[in-house]
Structure 1
Amino acid sequence: MTENRVDTLINSLLKRYPKGFDLSLERISRLLENLGNPHLKLPPIIHIAGTNGKGSAAATCRALLESAGYSVHVHTSPHLVHWNERYRIGRKGGGKFVDNDTLADAIERVTKANHDEPITVFELLTAVAFLLFSEHPADAVILEVGLGGRFDATNVIKKPAVSLIMPISLDHVALLGNTVEKIAFEKGGIIKEEVPLVIGKQESDGAIDVLTTIAQERHAPFVVYGQDFQAYNDHGHMVFQNENGLIELPLPSLRGDHQISNAASAIEAVLHAGFKLTDQNIAKAMQNIVWPARMQRIRHGKLIDSLPETMTVFLDGGHNPAGAKVIAQEIRHWKEKGAGPVTMVAGMINTKDSFHYFKELNGLVDQVYTVPVLSSDSGVAPEELAKVVLSAGLKAQTTSSIEDAFQKIAGTTPQRTVLVAGSLYMAGDFLKKNGTPPQ
């Protein structure tokens, strides 16, 4: 089957080349030169970095641009079920994930152009994005940073239309630094000379100071959430305000209070990139943002259908303490509305701070079923994860699989909310087993 061709090609790359990140731009630059520098032949680019909210911002930027009739290429990572999800090819009326034949062909050409030189798989797959996007006409490119910013493979882009930096918190500390300021310095590496910068909502003044200092050094005009633009919930509507005034909009279709500030940052970025949006375009976009595994309500599928109809299931891929804070806030909303107990099906990878993740959920989640993460070599064994959950003050039970966890939940009291969470890899495992991959 053609689908296996993509998987076969990428699996062979994963065996041949290191899977991690190379914190330099030399290797990807050399490869792109061999390919004829496709990254220099792209339409205007919205370049997005940050610890949390990058994916939501990318999805919102896409909804905004498509609502105004623009065609948009989107490169995000990681994928949840299929590699194709990393490459959305823009077309009028709405983009589509790249088809298997086109993706396999691009992977083969990029691999050949590398001439067996040392490189990481992430760099190869980033070059695939640039090659694909250069060969299909579109009005815009949304480009999400993989890790950090300064040395991320996407940072070969010399002159994006706008740089957008979403909330920064502690994550990947071994690679990026152990303070928010150090991490902000790495993320701020995407700020380019005289290119507009939009700084999304930050919890840390230190992060804002680092980013604005870099922007001033590079003569990049910048706006900061909470100072130059903002948004808030006013009686079930989103009010967005910037230097041009104030508009009332529907709430974003993505769940969670944080999605209001995420959406505001995306609106500001699209406007600073020079695209024209009417108030009607923005209103339409807020109702059409699609980003799987971000407090996503899952209504059907093999696993869902095994539960009583009175149970509600949500899926979230947030995997660090800042992501858990967002989940905690959403659960408090559920409780305020009289929701029953919250049961969690959790799997995590060993590079994440799982203790502080679960600590944020103490007193909110009634029971955690730990499961193995199948799609990552770094998955924490369910027995080990259960110990962490218990040490964070929650109840835990080890299970052998997601199916096993759902079987146990099906036998409990029917009025409850089930939250599948802990990792994007885990979210991908769930969507695959449920038969509901992203479209």
Structure 2
Amino acid sequence: MDAITLTPSLPIRKRVPLFLTFSLSPLGDQAVDELQCHLRVDGSPVEAYGSGVPVLRSLWNDQRQCAEGTSAEAIIVNQLLSDIRAGHLAILQALIRAKRPCTTGNVKSYWLGGDPIAPQLLHTYDEYLTSLQTMPEPERRAKSTLYKWELSYRYLRNYLVATGQNDLSLNAVTIGWAKNYYQWLRQRPLAINFSTELVGNVREVLQFALENELMDENKLSALKLTWQGAKPITCLSLTQLKALEQMTLPKPLDIARHWALLSCYTGLDYPDAIAIVSNPAPHIVRLPQGDKIVWQRLKVKQVHQAYPEWAICHIPLLAETRDLLPRMGQLRAPSFTGLNENLKKIETRLELGFRFTTKTCRKTAGALFIHRGYRMEAVQKILGLKDFRTFQRHYLSTWQEVVDDNMERLQDF
């Protein structure tokens, strides 16, 4: 009797032994008869069933569990039996991955029926999250993105529990199911874009399952998702920046203007700018090609982060920054709320047409450094951004002046 033991790729408490043997009916009197399967999974037997493989009784060796000889028929029979064993093992492995009962009856039923075994949606989602978290560092997604994926998992789990679909299989995820999930998300209530993103995450998990041969078709591939237009990313133009420098303002607004300009010329967050102004010398590095500020920037610590996330900024000292820094030490630092309130008043005087905040200044710095000739990957380092996609989405706002300046530089080529 051949014993075949399967150790699943997913962690479980014990090994699941599968024993599969073949025999001819002792009551048969025909020269050719069908081999019968005798299956035991984890020690539990099941009634014998046909293998679909006929063999000459004279060729079959019950003790060795094979057709003897070198004839073409014997070779074919043994290959078919090998395929049957592999098929039973594949079913057992699929049951384990799908978190379904690994019983002898289930293995027999799926082998005879030929129905695909799709893993549960939640289990596959969990596998995908693990794959995201274990990707090598260059390809690994930002911590904020991983947090959104974990949040997406919780919403999906809550929906499946609330609707009694805890064991929902991948094959049961249809466009109709996705629309019902979307409506449930909107009733939480969640915004259109966020609800759409959560449904899109399910589609991405199904694609992951398809690529790993866990299912035969991603039924959400044809799903059309509705998005609201993204909020425009705004920053000061060169003309507006020059107007901010030259306008006459009362003292409270003049103080706010100076802090805003420092952020526009460095890309520093307001708390970081205060820290550097209070003691700039330790953070300025002298180089043959010029001076720069090197600052360890603390990115906003989210609730989900176990540890704060730091980024190192290398900020070239522009002429405007050199002029501002000595004067900034004489100015008081208003509260964050007070600064933004005064910037709102300046916004009205500049007739900007968009909200003027400290974030606007940081985005202005990104565009300004690009205009001054710095490459995009350098500007990403200046701003202390880990993810280039974040830089593209929020800071890569190209002015018309950048195009004009490049045309002038390249006209002789």
TM over 0.5: no
TM-score between the two structures when normalised by the length of structure 1:
0.21
Q: Larger Rg: 1 or 2?
A: 2
TM-score between the two structures when normalised by the length of structure 2:
0.22
